Amino acid sequence: MSAVKVGIGPGSICTTRIVTGVGVPQITAVSDAVEALEGTGIPVIADGGIRFSGDIAKAIAAGAAAVMVGSMLAGTEESPGEIELYQGRSYKSYRGMGSLGAMSKGSSDRYFQSDNAADKLVPEGIEGRVAYKGRLKEIIHQQMGGLRSCMGLTGCGTIDTLRTKAEFVRISGAGIQESHVHDVTITKESPNYRMGS
C-alpha cells in the first residue's frame, strides 16, 4: 500500500455523512489513521475539509503527509468550468464526485452504484458554485505562506517536526468566534480569508 487517503464527508460539497450516517470530524479521522498506521511507513493523506491554510497546518500537525483540496481551488482560472456572473459577482461551477451530475457521467462506481439512471442513483454530494478566485498560483502562494507562518509560530523548522512536535488544544465555540474576524465590517477582502469560505 502506497498511502491511505482519509476523509469521509468533510468536503464543502459532500453530503456523505448526512446521507449515510458515517464519518467523523476530519482532524479526528487523520489523527486516528496516523496512530493506527504508526510504524508501518504508510503515509496518510487528509482528503477534504481544507478551507484555510490553517487547516493544512492542522492536518499536517495531526500527522498527515499531504492534503487534498477541492473547493479551495475550484474557483481558480485553471479549474474546469466557465466563469459565470451572478448578482454582479463572478463564480465558477463546482460539483462533487458524489453529485448526480458526476455520478451520471461515470463516478457512480466509486460509490458502489452500477445503475447510471439518474432516478436510481443515490448522491452523496451536490453541485454548486464558488466565488471566482483568480490564478491558481496566487492561492498556492497564500496557502504556503500560512503554513510557513504556522511553522514559525510553533517553532517547527520542517514539516516532519510539525507532524511530531505540534500540540492540539480544544477550544470552545467562543474561541472559534474569537479566531475569526469579528466586531468589524470587512471593507476589503483578504486574499487568504473569506467569510463563509
At a CB cut-off of 8 Å and minimum separation 6, what does 53 contact?
Answer: 142, 143, 144, 145, 146, 147, 149, 150, 192
The three three-digit cell numbers of residue 194, written as one number? 473569506
Task: Determine the pLDDT at residue 76.
Answer: 96
Task: Determine the pLDDT at residue 195.
Answer: 74
In angstroms, the CA 54 to CA 163 distance is 14
According to DSSP, the β-strands at 4-6 and 44-47 are parallel
Task: Determine the pLDDT at residue 96.
Answer: 81
Q: Is this model's pTM higher than 0.95 or not? A: no
Task: Determine the pLDDT at residue 136.
Answer: 97
Q: In the chain, which stretches have pLDDT less than 50? A: 108
Q: Are 3 and 45 in contact (CB under 8 A)?
A: yes
The set of catalytic residues is 14, 110
The count of C-alpha atoms lying within 13 angstroms of the C-alpha of 11, restricted to the half-sphere facing its C-beta, is: 29
**Residue 148 neighbours by CB distance under 10 Å:** 12
In angstroms, the CA 174 to CA 117 distance is 46
Residue with cell 493544512: 56
Torsion of CA 139, 143, 145, 149, to 10 degrees: 160
Buried/exposed 22-51: b ≥16 CB within 10 Å, e otherwise: ebbebbebbbebbeebeeeeebbbbbbbbb
What pLDDT digit, counting tens, does each position of 160-169 carry?
Answer: 999 989 999 9
Task: Determine the pLDDT at residue 111.
Answer: 52
Task: Determine the pLDDT at residue 148.
Answer: 98
